[in-house]
Amino acid sequence: MLATIALEAGSEILDVYGTEFAVEQKDNDSPVTEADRRAEAVILKRLAEIAPDVPVIAEEAASEGDIPEIGARFFLVDPLDGTREFVNRRDEFTVNIALVENGEPVAGVVYAPALGMMAVADGPASGRTAMLAKDAPIAAADWQPIHTREVPAAGLVAVASRSHRDAETDAFLESHGVTETRSAGSSLKFCLIARGEADVYPRFGRTMEWDTAAGHAVLRAAGGCVLTTDGLALRYAKRERGYDNPAFIAWGRKPV
């Protein structure tokens, strides 16, 4: 069901992507467009229909101070992750929807509408990916299981943010013997690791829970993990932090 909702939101995004859309700046200086708002409206409407008793923390609503009280079970939504990629006409933006239970992302979908790619996790060991024709029905998708890989003998392949790379990231890559680094936008970084195309994604800059939960769910279902720099599992429902994340490392295989 989350996949169908993401597909519908992606259709709204593509409708805007093909126009000369306006770009506004939120209070935190991040960009927002009509596509963000239209996609979020669709997602919130559909989640209310299928799970009316489960609260939703969604990026655009949260940026306006609308954050519901949550319990052990809630949704995290980023209707357009990678708005900078969207604004710059790069296709690496995604729709992110995740279900969190007891601090862990137990289900999620990452959909890249401009690339026609979707990755889904609907359980702790159920990572799947599909290449989708734009606006194609989910039933027509060719779903394939995905798995993280063993670390190659030649060394780690890292994936890093195109828009948010910093000196701490470069130091991590050097200290861990990374032999190749790929750039990617949005939650596609988690998906590259989940699909066995990379091994590690370090992130030291600020992220919000809705930025990471869906990609985390997909990576977790494919055999990976996301750890803080203290080696602890990244958790969700961090109300005391304002729902932001500490620095973290996403791994295809947990380091020993």
53 is in an annotated binding site: no
On whether 78 is known to bind a ligand per the annotation, the reply is yes
Q: CB-hemisphere CA count at 13 Å for 41?
A: 9
Q: Would you say 47 is a known binding-site residue?
A: no
Q: Which of 228, 178, 181 is nearest to 207 (CA)?
A: 228
3-class DSSP state for residue 33?
strand
| DSSP, res 56 | E
Kindly provide the b/e burial profile for residues 195-211, where b requires at least 16 CB atoms within 10 angstroms of the residue's own CB: bbbbbbbbbbeebbbbb
| Measured distance CA(112)–CA(9) in Å, rounded | 11
As a whole number of angstroms, the distance between CA 177 and CA 157 comes to 9
Q: What are the angstrom distances between the C-alpha of 198 and each of 39, 65, 91, 108, 153?
A: 29, 37, 20, 20, 13
Q: Binding site annotation covers 166?
A: no
In contact, 113 and 213? CB cutoff 8 Å: no
Residue 224 among known ligand-binding residues:
no
Q: Is 211 annotated as a binding residue?
A: yes
80 is in an annotated binding site: yes
Please give the annotated binding residues for substrate, written as ranges: 59, 80-83, 211
Please give the annotated binding residues, written as ranges: 59, 78, 80-83, 211
Please give the annotated binding residues for Mg(2+), written as ranges: 59, 78, 80-81, 211
